[in-house]
Each structure stands twice: as structure tokens, then as C-alpha cells.
Amino acid sequence: MENWLPTLITDTPTKGYDLAVKMARIAVKLTQPDAAERDRLRPEYAGDADALIAVSQVVATNFATVAAANGYWRDKA
């Protein structure tokens, strides 16, 4: 896989959140590399509130990591 994550530094919190979502998506792709299998499973978790909450928790954890790496954007304001 290419070096898709050269840095955690982003210009804005919005870009940091986008990076957090990308981190979660890459983790899923690495865990289940078969795109057809991911597509087959998607309907099962798309309607599962617990699965959707779990995704939100992963993104929140990733965002906290990115935010900390960026000094919570205090220096950029």
C-alpha cells in the first residue's frame, strides 16, 4: 500500500475530521481486503444502530489523535 498517511498535520479541524474518517476506512480495507465481501456485508451493518455507533466511536478516537497531533489547532487560530 502506498504511503497514504505521510502526516497527521492538517490545516483545519474539518480537514482533520476528514482524515479521521479516511483512517477508519483504510482500517476496514486492511482488515477485509476483498471489496466484494465488504460490499456484501455493508447492508448488514448499514441498518444496525450498534454497528453505526461503533463506527462513530472509531472515527472519534481517530479524530482525537489527529487533533492532539495538531495541538487542537490552537496555534493556527
Residue 26 falls inside a structural domain: yes
20-49 mean pLDDT: 95
Domain that holds residue 21: 13-70
Residue 56 falls inside a structural domain: yes
State how many domains the chain has: 1
Rg of the chain, C-alpha, whole Å:
14
Identify the band that residue 72 occupies on the pLDDT scale cut at 50, 70 and 90. confident
Do residues 16 and 67 make contact, with C-beta atoms less than 8 angstroms apart? yes
Q: Is 62 exposed, middle or buried (0-12, 13-18, 19+ CB in 10 A)?
A: buried
pTM: 0.86
8-34 mean pLDDT: 96
- The predicted structure's pLDDT at residue 74: 66
Residue 75 falls inside a structural domain: no
Measured between alpha carbons, how far is 73 from 39 in angstroms, rounded to an integer? 36
Identify the band that residue 66 occupies on the pLDDT scale cut at 50, 70 and 90. very high
